[in-house]
Amino acid sequence: MSVESNRSRLEDSLHQLRCHFTWELQIEDDEMHDLENRVFDQMEFLDTQCGMHNLLAYVKHLEGRDEEALGSLRDAEEAMPQEHGHGPDVKSLVTWGNLAWLCYHTGRLAETQSYLDKVEAICRKFSGQSSYRMESPEMDSEEGWALLKCGAKNYERAEACFEKALEAQPENPEFSAGYAIVIYRLDGINRTSLSLQPLQKALRLNPENVYVKVLLALKLQDLRQEAEAEKHIEEALSSTSSQTYVLRYAGKFYRRKGFLDKALHLFKMALQATPSSALLNHQIGLCYRAHVLRIKKAANWKPRALDREKVEKIARLAIRHLEFAVEQKPTFGIAHVHLAEMYTETGNYRKAEETYHKVLNMTSLKEEKLQEVHFQYGRFQEFQRKSEVDAIVHYLKAIKIETPSFSRNKSIQSLEKLALRRLQRNALDAEGLSFLGLICKLRGDLSEAVGQYERALRLLAGRPQEGDSHSPQGEGPPARDRSTGGGR
């Protein structure tokens, strides 16, 4: 058989494997560095060696570091007997599949065939068939964990993998934990609360899983069940397992509760173990940002010289950590927004502007995050740049994304205030009337919306109308609704 024929035959076999090379993991180039750091952290602090060695090897391969990747897979081979006891066979398929692919990419064709033979032997043992692919809930779970680790673009596929595994083994603690974690992550994206029962079930099946315990605490906090949530946090903090991860989520719990000093203490303890964590540096930046807002609120949003100096000092601490977070993870959109806010607090408008532009150019932002960016940038244009025109552009962009959210409601309110301000200066401002028409439409007051639009059209046509000398009166703040958002 010629070399080309052999390569073609091997490639056909490789595509049948279930491993990182065939799972179509979506990882952006800018996320590679942060993902590698998170994999190292999980290997060290969550005792999940074999699967993380496999993922680390795949990331190294994507970065062109194939010899290092081979080293990681040899480590995965060594970890298999210790991690899986007497039953390593099924999970070994993933490692051997990755090794077969990597040997093929590096021209080690004989070794490629050797690993394919190992996979085939296991498939024959379990399924009685000669092939390189085997269906099993354990394999579904392995794929789910890999997808879960690789970020939000992969979460829905991870959910499907864990659901399939649980259909076969509904009481499996590992499958339940994976499913609960991915539903918790999707809750954060979709603004839902579907993960409460999966988290409770996962903790019932494995009460020692403190990672699940702290996520359950945060979900209970979302649902305003503070006492039960804090009980879980205290239990997790008293455990010796996975403490670095417990500290992260306990810190988040206390930050959201408003106990900023306690949160900072917990975050800084975790940071000693994982100094390169983008998540931790972002959380610390949020604590300092909350301190800034607390001082400004206490001063009725007009801090005196001493308070102003304190605000700038704390804002600079926030900037240090937020800059590091976005350096580690350049696609961390919301961290960019918080960084731009802190640049604004210190009067560095140039950097704030650059940061807003950077995040607006990201293609991976979810709609609600994009709404928040447009709202915050609109405020920046209105209050720092004193540009009503540019502020209106971004409030409208936030409003046109129809997903109900805090940022959309605030954009509607901000647009209304600007429209009324324009009409106080000039009651014949057709554009101001059209904005009021839009706001009425969003509230569902269609007859009032039509009236405002008609007045605007008559002005644009140069025709006089009744009441032009009077400024229209504004209505109360808009209700949170799902009405269609329109343009001008």
Q: Is 451 exposed, middle or buried (0-12, 13-18, 19+ CB in 10 A)?
A: middle
pLDDT digits (tens, 9 = 90+) for 171-191: 999 999 999 999 999 999 888
The total number of structural domains in the chain stands at: 2
Domain boundary among 78, 104, 134: 134
Q: Does 367 reside within a domain?
A: no
Query: Lowest-confidence range among 106-115, 160-169, 204-213, 455-464?
Result: 455-464
Query: Residue 433 is part of which domain span?
Result: 395-488
**Closest to 165 in 3D by CA, of 152, 153, 148:** 148
**Could you give phi then psi for residue 14, rounded to 5 degrees?**
-60, -35
Cα–Cα distance measured from residue 159 to residue 183, given in angstroms and rounded to the nearest whole number = 7
Q: Does 430 reside within a domain?
A: yes
State which H helix or E strand residue 213 sits in. helix 210-222
What local confidence, expressed as pLDDT, does residue 482 receive? Answer: 34
Residue 309, amino acid: E
pLDDT digits (tens, 9 = 90+) for 352-385: 999 999 999 998 888 888 999 999 999 999 999 9
CATH number at residue 67: 1.25.40.10
Q: Which two tokens stand for residue 19?
A: 């491993």
Q: Any alpha helices (H) in 191-242, and if so which ranges?
A: 196-205, 210-222, 226-238
pLDDT at 165 over 80: yes
How far are the Cα atoms of 396, 417, 427, 430, 467 from residue 472, in angstroms, in the given order? 20, 12, 8, 12, 9
pLDDT at 12 over 50: yes
Cα–Cα distance measured from residue 11 to residue 263, given in angstroms and rounded to the nearest whole number = 52
> Which residue reads 């409003």 in tokens?
399
For residue 473, what pLDDT band results from cuts at 50, 70 and 90? very low
Q: Does 278 reside within a domain?
A: no
For 335, residues 6+ apart whose C-beta sits below 8 A from its C-beta are: 278, 282, 285, 322, 325, 326, 329
Domain boundary among 88, 116, 134: 134
Q: Does 247 reside within a domain?
A: no
Q: What is the mean pLDDT of the chain?
A: 90
Question: Which has more confidence, 46 or 108?
Answer: 108
Q: Does 277 reside within a domain?
A: no
Domain boundary among 134, 159, 190: 134
Cα–Cα distance measured from residue 114 to residue 119, given in angstroms and rounded to the nearest whole number = 9
| Signed CA dihedral, 424, 475, 455, 483: sign only | positive
pLDDT at 83 over 70: no
Q: Does 36 reside within a domain?
A: yes
> Which residue reads 């070399």 in tokens?
3
Q: Does 414 reside within a domain?
A: yes
What local confidence, expressed as pLDDT, does residue 50 receive? Answer: 64
For residue 222, what pLDDT band results from cuts at 50, 70 and 90? very high
